[in-house]
Structure 1
């Protein structure tokens, strides 16, 4: 199979579809429309013309960056697409984030080991504690 990664912002429909297929939480069309238009950098992986994976960077562009929406359709997982996405996102971070910038992510589905390959460390008490708030 021939996969191609492009520096594209996914459509709202593609974004929602791939997130759900990969087991991530549902985002409303309204939230996705606003969120996708305010991202710093996005990629889409295609098989021929079909989008099969996504990844994004959000943040303020100076002090804080967050890697989000790393998602690949289940039938295309375990083929190196997550690595392809993360390499593209980390390349962008290293080219664009100033020194002293803080880069974070939330590792879903028991995937912390995957992200450690790119230099990420778990935020663990007592030094750090990751926290979140989901708006229902």
Structure 2
């Protein structure tokens, strides 16, 4: 495994853009992402030699509802355990914040990555519950 350095902080707008685009999520509007990052609860960035190679963050109400967002590992570093390390840090943050009560944790998985998240305890609750979303684009 590469010599990763894990930083418990939000990615910068540039780091976020680099990793977002490296995993094929398309182009990102950096003014929007800047505001989104600023209003997140917690973030983790992984670097190698000062360059971003992985990230993840949490959004939500910081008490009962949490959403894992933007877990992205540069393709060169996928399969190295970095994604698991980032997810473990994100989930530890949530467990600490739930104050003994229930915490609902959601996420969307990229195609073909659901097995990774299932190993961390996430599961598809269909047909009894379904995840739904819409996108408003400018």
TM-score of the aligned structures, taking structure 1 as reference length: 0.93
1:53-74 superposed Cα distances (whole Å, 9 cap, x missing partner) = 1000100112210001010111
Which blocks of at least 5 consecutive residues in structure 2 are unaligned?
A: none
Which blocks of at least 5 consecutive residues in structure 1 are unaligned?
A: none
Q: Which residue of 1 aligns with 2:120?
A: 118
Q: Which residue of 1 aligns with 2:37?
A: 36
- Cα distance in 2, alignment partners of residues 77 and 101 from structure 1: 28
Number of residue pairs matched by the alignment: 135
- Cα distance in 1, alignment partners of residues 107 and 52 from structure 2: 23
Q: Which residue of 2 aligns with 1:20?
A: 21
Runs of 4+ in 1 over 4 A off after TM superposition: none
8 Å contact 1:90–1:118 — kept in the other structure?
no
User: What does 1:1-136 correspond to in 2, within 5 Å?
Assistant: 1-98=2-99, 99-125=101-127, 127-136=128-137
- Cα distance in 1, alignment partners of residues 95 and 115 from structure 2: 21
Q: Give the Å deviation of 1:101.
A: 2.1
Q: Give the Å deviation of 1:97.
A: 2.2
Q: Give the Å deviation of 1:4.
A: 1.1
CA RMSD of aligned residues (A): 1.2
